A and B are shown apart, each in its own frame.
Chain A
């Protein structure tokens, strides 16, 4: 073959090309080695780390809200239970034409424009496989109508939820309370609280016993994909339903109290004097706790907030009133204990008492004449107790009041209890910066002025007087067997207690007693008690000169509160009660009859149960 210059050139070029090609080839081989090295690093050396990350990626935890425990009364009647509510959701991904689907649904169960708009807006915002709630709280009939047409309704999901219902409604609203959606402040590290269907106790025993009622949420480990869609279940820990809660309340007695109040406002407490169990805890006016369960509407909320007579306040534990004459037992007991007064000590009541430049009136303008301790309680003579208070001083009175439960919280298992107020010299100096006057003692001696007590405190005071002086404390849950003896003794002399209790029996059973009209006729069920009037407004000297207006003639908000504390049966007391009717006037006319009915019913029901 001819060797031309061109061929030589070509040879040279091909050789150079080969050299450079080999260089490129070596570079490529190096590149592949780098890739292999990286693969070894990721898939062999660090495989475990990435496996963990992969599992974290794909395993999601789904929580399922546990069924909330029931709240029952002492005879197992439900006060809070869970009702199945039906909800309908649409899944846009399966629905196809969402607009058309909503139109079809609308023909079966009418949708408001608002609901429809919300569904369409949500559908644009979230991933299309996530269900959007179209209806909530459908009745069985409505669900059935949709159920029949399921075949023509692609992407429609019917699900059940548990909704809290309160069969007694406003009758026991203050004590049972209600549940509601978890608020920002209530959120804790517990992820269950963040679930949309979770409801937390907001007030009453629903709040105090929330932990017990709540139960343990079920846990479901699921495999999810990158967009959070559940692919399959991996593991499931079933929920632990909440424990049921049995209250000491007797729903029938509770209803009776509400019924007896009628349109009047105020509070009533009925309790067992030995165990401290509350059988009835009425506060009027009330509200429907069901309003709060699904989130209260703005109008409803404002109506409740602005309503007169504070329907949201539990007046039995958070209403503070001057105890009036129901305080006289405490003064009497303090006097007897001091030894300065004997049961036989008597004073002459002229209708008023002059002390310094002050004039202190008895409720009876003409006066009671000569009265001893027993008759002073029975007829509720104010002058007698002015005299007693002047002699024994505020310190003894305050100390006795505190022993019987005044001036501090009693620790009932309800939120929002208030402590009332038992004033003394120190208190007045510290809080008002004024020295204690003798007149303050006199006014306190008849339970007016600065003294404040809750209806619960009044009931507890009565219970402690008639159970032999044991410091029982109130409770809403049932005591298995809790005799008064386990409560510490108040170290009160038996004979002093006997004198006071006897005078209370006189109030309702002696002809001159202020509450003789409220006597229980059946001897076995008889009650004892004490009337009281809580002054809303002090009567000025000028008014007295012009002639005191009768209670009924004053505007309602200026009328006095009517009080009554009582117990029954008189032979061996079991039940104590306190009733306060706001702006009701005198205790004997308004409050005593309610107390009588409550005590009588409580005794009858207890006997029926035993039989």
Chain B
């Protein structure tokens, strides 16, 4: 039924949008948000420069390049009509799924098959899947008739959309990304309007099946969880990382040791200082106030995303904006909580700051989608394709 309505509406919406020049769209971009994003990316460059002991190589220079490319991509995506993304949601999901399966066969990576080498960068299909899943879920719940929401059959598609990539990512094995995918999917379903009791039931089921899940985990994943529960268990393994990270962070004190003066980071006591533990590196050199400043920047980005979501007048846009912001929140929270010893060591980067191509690219792409929502969301309720 929606197809007919869509065709009818197309003429009307075209009229309204035809007066919309590129300049006006650019004018409507949320420049405050873009400024914040640029500030966080800049902080990443500065910290990576320090991590390499005051050198643009091997990380900082590359980071600038990738951020530039990603930021351009963000602008382009932000200028594209939201309807286009609505239309492409499922194809993008299909592409991401294809890449995820492909990585099983042509993937490279340390131990776990996670990347596809593209020459200029290593593509991590699981990262692409995060954006794709958000789009697909948003479209599904946007298209859904409100009367149908509480019918059991309706649950089948989103569960399938979620389960397939989650299982593939778990096989890689990448527990961190799989958990985030799952969390994003659950959030989409929650926002999509599923009844409370369903989540309660799923939670109860998870508790019951947890012991089975435990047996399916890889040894090193189990080890990480055990180490988290008791860091002294393995002082030179994963526990060592947490302990060293806390030492570096704590020794930074309120004001930090000064830029490029962080002894723990500079002397390599810190593991993975340019990727997963980059927050520690920064916190050691800039102290408590530096840490709070960076977290505040992230909080402001999320706040902007939220405002954009709440101003959006259609379900698709609202869902996309909130899910994307939730994705960024999960990255930031898990990463920082991990380096401070609040959650187990899972390989989650700090968005826009950690060195690494795909994570930065997908974060910026996601923010591009939010821009698109912002540009679109201020319009009055338009044709049925969005009203639906």
Contact = CB atoms under 8 A, between A and B. Distances in A.
Specify whether A and B are partners: yes
A149 B1 CA distance: 87
A54 interface: yes
B267 A21 contact: no
A51 B315 contact: no
Interface-centre pick from B247, B269, B287, B302 (highest chain A CB count, 10 A): B247
A58 interface: yes
Interface string B229-271: 0000000000000001011111111100000000110111110
Interface in B298-343: 298-299, 302, 306, 309-310, 313-315, 318-319, 322, 326, 329, 333, 336-337, 340, 342
Main secondary structure of the interface of A (DSSP, over half): helix
Contacts of A21: 191, 306, 309-310, 318, 322
B333 A35 contact: yes
For the residues of B in contact with A, the DSSP-based class is helix
Interface in A1-23: 1, 6-7, 9-10, 12-14, 16-18, 20-21
Contacts of A12: 146
A40 B283 CA distance: 12
Nearest to B342: A38
A225 B326 CA distance: 38
B144 to A, nearest CB: 9
B295 A46 contact: no
Interface in A434-462: none
Interface of A: 1, 6-7, 9-10, 12-14, 16-18, 20-21, 24-25, 28-29, 31-32, 34-36, 38-40, 42-44, 46-47, 49-51, 53-54, 57-58, 223-227, 231
Interface in B271-298: 283, 287-288, 291-292, 295, 298
B95 interface: no
Interface in B359-386: 381, 384
B190 interface: yes
Interface in B184-211: 187, 190-191, 193
24 contacts: A7-B387, A9-B146, A14-B313, A17-B315, A17-B318, A24-B190, A28-B326, A28-B329, A31-B333, A32-B333, A34-B337, A35-B337, A39-B249, A40-B288, A43-B254, A43-B287, A43-B291, A44-B253, A50-B246, A50-B247, A54-B251, A225-B269, A226-B268, A226-B270
Contacts of B319: 17
B269 A13 contact: no
A225 B251 contact: no
Nearest to B146: A9
With most chain A CB atoms within 10 A of its CB, the pick from B249, B313, B337 is B249
A412 B14 CA distance: 115
B146 A24 contact: no
A38 B288 CA distance: 10
B193 to A, nearest CB: 6
Contacts, number: 143
Contacts of A34: 337, 342
Contacts of B190: 20, 24
A54 B310 contact: no
A54 B295 contact: no
B388 interface: yes
A46 B248 CA distance: 12
A18 B269 CA distance: 46
Which of A7, A21, A57 is most buried by chain B, counting CB atoms within 10 A of its CB?
A21
Nearest to B384: A6
A591 B298 CA distance: 99
A226 B340 CA distance: 20
A226 B322 contact: no
Given A21-B191, A224-B267, A47 B292 contact: no
Contacts of B314: 10, 14
Nearest to A227: B268
Contacts of A226: 244, 267-270
Contacts of B384: 6
Interface of B: 145-146, 187, 190-191, 193, 244, 246-254, 263-264, 266-270, 283, 287-288, 291-292, 295, 298-299, 302, 306, 309-310, 313-315, 318-319, 322, 326, 329, 333, 336-337, 340, 342, 381, 384, 387-388
A413 B75 CA distance: 90
A224 B269 CA distance: 10
Nearest to B262: A54
A20 B191 contact: yes
B261 to A, nearest CB: 12
A231 B319 CA distance: 52
B342 A24 contact: no
Contact of B251 (A6, A9, A53): A53
Given A17-B315, A57-B269, A51 B251 contact: yes
A12 B299 CA distance: 29
Contact of B263 (A7, A16, A32, A58): A58
B146 A58 contact: no
Contacts of A31: 329, 333
A367 B15 CA distance: 154
B250 A49 contact: yes
Given A36-B295, A40-B288, A225 B268 contact: yes
Contacts of B269: 57-58, 225-226
Given A21-B191, A40-B288, A42-B340, A53 B310 contact: no
A38 B339 CA distance: 11
A9 B142 CA distance: 12
Given A54-B264, A225-B267, A35 B250 contact: no
A224 B295 CA distance: 32
Given A21-B310, A35-B337, A43-B287, A57 B247 contact: yes
A32 B384 CA distance: 38
A14 B321 CA distance: 13
Contacts of A40: 288
Given A58-B269, A225-B267, A39 B291 contact: yes
B381 A43 contact: no
A50 B251 contact: yes
A44 B253 CA distance: 6
B310 A43 contact: no
Contacts of B295: 32, 35-36, 39
A47 B381 CA distance: 54
B329 A42 contact: no
A29 B302 CA distance: 10
